[in-house]
Structure 1
Amino acid sequence: MRRRRRHGIQVKTAEQVELMRAAGLLVGETLEMLREAVKPGITTMDLDVLAEQHIRDHGGVPSFKGYHGFPATICTSVNEEIVHGIPSADRELRDGDVLSIDCGAIVAGWHGDSAITVPVGEITPEEARLLEVTEASLWRGLAAGTAGARLTDMSHAIESHIRSQGSYGIVEGYGGHGIGTRMHMDPLIPNHGEPGHGPVLEPGMCFAVEPMVNLGTKDTLELADGWTVVTGDGRRSAHFEHTFAVTEDGPRVLTALDEGREWFTKLGIVKAGK
């Protein structure tokens, strides 16, 4: 069936959303497997090997590997690394590290994209709070992704929650995006901004929402590898992401194992996907 576009945004049929759910579920299951594997002594390359094997064994293709030359299946960003960290056999995780894992998979031509940030062993209360605030801001943004809302309503929901929780650096220049037959599609979804701007959200539109939050300032630097983005002040960062579909019944989170029901119930949303 021909794919439609509104405002330059790909609009999926119900059948196409189901294909995206298959890709999203594979990504979600891969990330949960990796979460359990994270421990002091494991290398980021060990995690990458596990991810690729799991995706391919379950009928998927890694989205990231070869994307504009990226050499790995997942991004592994440690401590002050915000996004796009490259897995390495020389990067052994240590107790007290904070690790962001970003993962994408393609199933039947459709993409899923999601990220989690996990502690390695024991982390400080300040760092644990950073993870909590960042993840909660993601779900606030997802909850704002309802039919009839405007694109920046999601941006504003993310920023408002983070600002209400303390003094954090909200990363600029990187953000969420449309997703479907390609991993990165229009539009860009900033993690800050005023509500009520941008296209009206319609059922069948799919987006990846991904706040990145720093303990210090919002300033960033890109390393010489051309990929890894780090905090400008060397303090730690967190990154969470989910792919979701706009539906008549509310946002359906395609990369969450339960499609978002637990988190949406916490936020007081009765209808959360199918």
Structure 2
Amino acid sequence: MTTIESCATPGCTNPLTQRLACPKCQQMGIPIAYFCGQSCFAQNYAKHKQVHVLFQQLKQQQALQSFDPTTTCPDDAPTEQKLQLPHWARDYRFTGTLRPTLLSPRRTVPASIRQPDYAQHPAGVCTHEQNERHKPPHIRCYTEEEINGEEGLRHVCQMGREILDVAGKAVRVGVTTDELDRIVHEATLERDCYPSPLNYYQFPKSVCTSVNEVICHGIPDHRELCDGDIVNLDISAYNRGGYHGDLNETFFVGNVDAEGQKLVKTAFDCLATALELVRPGTLYRDLGAAIERKAKETQCSVVRTYCGHGIGHELFHTIPNIPHYGKNKAKGVMKVGHVFTIEPMINLGTSGDKTWQDDWTAVTLDGKRSAQFEHTLVVTETGYDLLTKRKDEPVMTWKPELLQR
């Protein structure tokens, strides 16, 4: 028996001669509905995107109702208990060899530390970002005082750099990503900052630790790093002035094979290539083409689901959006004072990704490794300034000895 499918546009009776799905629905995991053609999809997109909003609201409500304390265990629990799979992972089909463990209890932040608006929100919602989405799109130009003031953007980015350097030195065979989270958490508090990831839309930890096939948003747990692993540490901090800063690097753990070393170097080169284009007048959409060309030189691919982003005062993520692949439709032209991140995620295999059922951990679809580097920068009259740079490194320089652990 033949089943006749209808177009997802209400009232449309055209037959489905092709199966055109909404890319945003696919990205969000919404059950796929098909449209009869591109023109029908484009004409009705304003109404269709309401489905995206409703689905996101439903996910937030479900997150509040479905918290399961069995995903965590006490710090003094036996190792055997700590290494158990979370309940969601017991029948889950993983794409690679990495497996999650139970998590340590959430770390606390003293009241003396200034906290972002989402820190105590039950669903971790950033109201500043939500409010921003209802305003006409406008990329903010930050002033000299906002960038270089005592508690400005440069300050929080330098704090982030110090935190990453501290955590990077702790990477080694046998250390758990939970221990790296503890180090990041304490180093952040020592600098009178709040770890931006903590409770951001309910992310449970203070740093993202993405190992091997994890592309981004890996949750620190009790798994020990093994000889030959690669691990990305994504550091974000929020200071007393109300500014966020964001950066990350991928580290070699022990003896990494030649293919892994090629991948990490390619990720570094992709970011460096994009930075060469940053100056007033550059279209944001042009960065992706340069990144993808560089990745293809070593037969690597670029993740399309996640992008660079604007960042600044009370806003962890905002416009501009900066895709890392060619032929994208990013809007905007760079101007002096624009502050944003570039953070290409580069895969050894396919560019496809999926998200674990913890609702955070993004992994490669084929289980092959992924690597990433990220900087926060400001556009200047002559080019750019890396706000998250090392003090002796105004321009990105490949120094593998700083990444080898």
1:107-256 to 2 correspondences below 5 Å: 107=239, 108-163=241-296, 165-181=297-313, 182-194=315-327, 198-256=331-389
Distance 1:100 1:197 in 2: 26
Q: Runs of 4 or more off by more than 6 Å in structure 1?
A: none
Is the partner of 2:162 in helix, strand or coil? helix
Per-residue deviation, 1:222: 0.4
Per-residue deviation, 1:60: 1.1
The residue number in structure 2 matching 1:269 is: none
TM-score w.r.t. length of structure 1: 0.90
Unaligned runs of 5+ in 1: 266-274
Structure having the higher strand fraction is 1
Quickly say closer, same or farther: Cα 1:197–1:63, change in 2 above 3 A: closer
Per-residue deviation, 1:82: 0.7
Given candidates 169, 178, 182, the residue that maps to 1:36 is 169
For the pair 1:102 / 2:234, whether they are aligned, the reply is: yes
C-alpha distance after superposition, 1:160-182 (max 9, x if no partner): 2112x221121111010111121
The structure with more radius of gyration:
2
Per-residue deviation, 1:194: 3.9
Distance 2:229 2:332 in 1: 39
Q: Give identity over the alignment, percent.
A: 37
Does the CA contact (< 8 Å) of 2:321 and 2:330 recur in 1?
no
Does the CA contact (< 8 Å) of 2:322 and 2:330 recur in 1?
no
Does the CA contact (< 8 Å) of 2:195 and 2:237 recur in 1?
yes
Is the partner of 1:263 in helix, strand or coil? coil
The residue number in structure 1 matching 2:145 is: 15
Is the partner of 1:188 in helix, strand or coil? strand
The residue number in structure 2 matching 1:56 is: 189
Given candidates 208, 220, 225, the residue that maps to 1:93 is 225
Per-residue deviation, 1:219: 1.0
Per-residue deviation, 1:140: 1.3
Q: How many residues matched?
A: 260
Quickly say closer, same or farther: Cα 1:124–1:264, change in 2 above 3 A: closer
Unaligned runs of 5+ in 2: 1-134, 399-405
What is the identity, as a one-letter code, of the residue corresponding to 2:383?
A: G
What is the identity, as a one-letter code, of the residue corresponding to 1:224?
A: Q
The residue number in structure 2 matching 1:272 is: none
What is the identity, as a one-letter code, of the residue corresponding to 1:105?
A: A
Distance 1:66 1:196 in 2: 31
Distance 1:247 1:6 in 2: 25
Given candidates 206, 216, 224, the residue that maps to 1:83 is 216
Distance 2:330 2:212 in 1: 34
What is the identity, as a one-letter code, of the residue corresponding to 1:180?
A: G
